[in-house]
Amino acid sequence: MPLARSLSVTSLSGLDEWDEEFELEDAVLFEIAWEVANKVGGIYTVIQTKARMTAEEWGENYFLVGPYVESNVRTQVELIEPTNPVLKRTIDKMNASGCKVYFGRWLIEGSPYVVLIDVGFTAWSLDRWKSELWDLCAIGVPWFDREANDAVLFGFLTAWLLGEYAAQSEDPPHIVAQFHEWLAGLGLVLCRQRQLAVATIFTTHATLLGRYLCAGNVDFYNNLAEFNVDKEAGDRQIYHRYCLERAAAHCAHVFTTVSQITAIEAEFLLKRKPDIVTPNGLNVKKFSAMHEFQNLHAQSKSRIQEFVRGHFYGNLDFNLDKCLFLFIAGRYEFSNKGADIFLEALARLNYLLRVNHSDVTVITFFIMPARTNNFNVETLKGQAVRKQLWDTAQTVKERFGKKLYESLLVGQLPDVSKMLDKEDFTIMKRAIFATQRQCQPPVCTHNMLEDSSDPILNCVRRIGLFNSSADRVKIIFHPEFLSSTSPLLPMDYEEFVRGCHLGVFPSYYEPWGYTPAECTVMGIPSISTNLSGFGCFMEEHIADPSAYGIYILDRRYKGVDESCNQLTSFLFQFCKQSRRQRIIQRNRTERLSDLLDWRYLGRYYIAARHMALAKAFPDTYVYDPQEPSSASGFRYPRPASVPPSPALSRHSSPHHSEGEDNEEDERYDEELEAEKDRVNIRQPYTISVKGKAVLGGNGSGEDEASEKN
């Protein structure tokens, strides 16, 4: 009998609960990363969002280990006495031996325990530990590399912590230690060298060498097998870092990466094939606004429209109701993030919209932080002019309303010709004159410190998109992260994303890609690539990604010009969609959010930990060596209705609408549409516990489920 699943209206997946678990009463999990309570990059988001799910699984036996940074601790951590008696003895012993180790709760969702180590306080041991590292591993760390020096201190201290914990335990504990990235990897190497009874996991979120090679405009993915990794690392003066990363990957009981594309990269560059892929998730509850996400889109879009009214004052010769907002966001890596190919595609899109006499205007935002010294004066003036126009309109409206009220009060219909006097017309004329400008709307909202050498601005100059009236594609470069306190565009990033129509992320190097994932859980379609972890993950799980608003650009098997043409085609087809088609597509996109929830993706981390326990403690945990596939188990089918693209069929569902007024005639049933798209999903694999713990890789949990039913 098949397993019965309870499906929700807004969810395609209907994932069943994963009841099978290991006996974890005597097991302890330490998760070690440089970004625990210390925001540096994307790993911080991974650990922060995953903490609640992991804390629920491990309870009081889950500890995050990171560096002590006083400024972060003041705002994020509540320091308390250790609740675990073994850990208390461990920390007391280390502090008595010349260390500074703190214990507390990280004030995030799940309130996990954190152990924070002050690496600077033990800097006096750096030379001795470097010498020991050379004697043990023949890895020499140069004195001038501060980040690598911190990695040495952090690695020796975390290994000390784990060894002391094992020594202070009365009964031999089952310790699982997961190390994230090369900065924490040395601790893993030392645990194995010292033969500590610790099950180790090493997770790389991006290889060091891969990031450096891609930044140098190398044809990376087509030459993975050809690189002389030692020479390439040495040429870039990161050989010692590369050795730390590679040693951690080879010493770990279980080696994981965050995506299939990074797994291929790691196999060639780190010379070990990952045991399992652990994709990054999100706490979907934070982003999904229940059933109000369409309303939130409309509200946020209106705020963006207000900014656009000010930015384009004097040149507002396009219909805002037929305006599409596109955006790209992330680190300012011009080629790695695909800003180069995106700008070229925008130029080609502008040509297509003009020759086809389209009434659609595309406004594209580039949200990438760069070096600036202040806001652009012309940009600030635009927002001031918009506000002045609004105030003028309100003043005239109040005067008009008062005269209308007085006329009706005496029982007379108003004389329209006398409702506005000369003073009102004078005020309005002055307001209109104030909107005249002698220049085109600025491309950049800030004054750039390196304007002449900025890659985005130089590319804009080359393709000639200067926000002129004839252009159907406008560009706004906002070289600063968004903030609700900004005087220019006072919106948080989440609110801004909700107000846009499409996120475009044509990255060349993107091990995972949180930006398109965040778009998905907020119901915003996005363009990704088959070289990003997110894009590969969606291609594996969805039969027809574009039908769900996930466009996958081929940058692996096509040349730059072909990829650019494909991106232009995606953008042009999106511009041809009606408003109704975009609404239905957003509904479909939002229904994929469960696929990116830690409640589902967290099971890959669970499997990695169980795999490590089985390898480190074979007498207690039995491991079936049949490996589960990295992302096997199910694929979303193509929707029952044809994808909402007018290029495919005029009789597709939703039908093409001739006008906005007729769109309501064709009733759209959200629940019916969800029923058409929904599919039962197999579990990737099942972990069962019968006497001893067993890992299985059968790809489906239906046999076990049948026994239960």
Q: What is the pLDDT of residues 516-535, one digit of tens each?
A: 999 999 999 999 999 999 99
User: What's the token pair of residue 91?
Assistant: 């920390």
What pLDDT, on a 0 to 100 scale, did the predictor assign at position 164? 96
What pLDDT, on a 0 to 100 scale, did the predictor assign at position 639? 64
What pLDDT, on a 0 to 100 scale, did the predictor assign at position 428? 85
* Average pLDDT of span 596-602: 92
Helix (H) or strand (E) holding 550: strand 550-553
Where do the H-state alpha helices sit in 312-338? Answer: none
Q: Over the stretch 149-158, which tens digit does the pLDDT of each residue have?
A: 999 999 999 9
What pLDDT, on a 0 to 100 scale, did the predictor assign at position 497? 96
Q: Over the stretch 446-473, which tens digit does the pLDDT of each residue have?
A: 999 999 999 999 999 999 999 999 999 9
Residues 563, 335: Cα–Cα separation, whole Å: 14
Helix (H) or strand (E) holding 343: helix 339-355
* Average pLDDT of span 580-602: 91
Does 706 or 579 have the greater pLDDT score?
579
- Residue 81 near residue 135 (C-beta atoms within 8 A): no
* Average pLDDT of span 354-377: 95
Count of beta carbons in the 10 Å neighbourhood of residue 674: 18
What pLDDT, on a 0 to 100 scale, did the predictor assign at position 668? 53
3-state secondary structure of 121: helix
Least confident of 29-43, 293-307, 537-551, 662-676: 662-676
φ/ψ of 553, rounded to 5, equals -85, 135
What pLDDT, on a 0 to 100 scale, did the predictor assign at position 707? 39
What pLDDT, on a 0 to 100 scale, did the predictor assign at position 393? 86
- Residue 202 near residue 179 (C-beta atoms within 8 A): yes
Q: Over the stretch 334-360, which tens digit does the pLDDT of each residue have?
A: 999 999 999 999 999 999 999 999 999
At 427, is the pLDDT very low, low, confident or very high (cuts 50, 70, 90)?
confident
What pLDDT, on a 0 to 100 scale, did the predictor assign at position 190? 97
CA-to-CA separations, 680 to 5, 191, 310, 372, in angstroms, rounded? 8, 43, 49, 51
* Average pLDDT of span 494-517: 95
Least confident of 62-76, 165-179, 686-700: 686-700
> Taking 90 as the threshold, does the pLDDT of residue 203 lie above it?
yes
Map tokens 């031996």 to a residue.
97
Percent of the chain with pLDDT strictly greater than 70 = 83
What pLDDT, on a 0 to 100 scale, did the predictor assign at position 371? 94
* CA terminus-to-terminus distance, the chain: 7
Residues 622, 572: Cα–Cα separation, whole Å: 54
At 4, is the pLDDT very low, low, confident or very high (cuts 50, 70, 90)?
very low
Q: Over the stretch 71-100, which tens digit does the pLDDT of each residue have?
A: 999 999 999 999 999 999 999 999 999 999
Where do the H-state alpha helices sit in 216-334? Answer: 229-235, 239-251, 260-269, 284-287, 293-311
Q: Give the domains, in start order, of the chain with CATH numbers.
A: 27-207+240-277 (3.40.50.2000), 291-376+442-596 (3.40.50.2000), 387-439 (no CATH)
> Taking 90 as the threshold, does the pLDDT of residue 105 lie above it?
yes
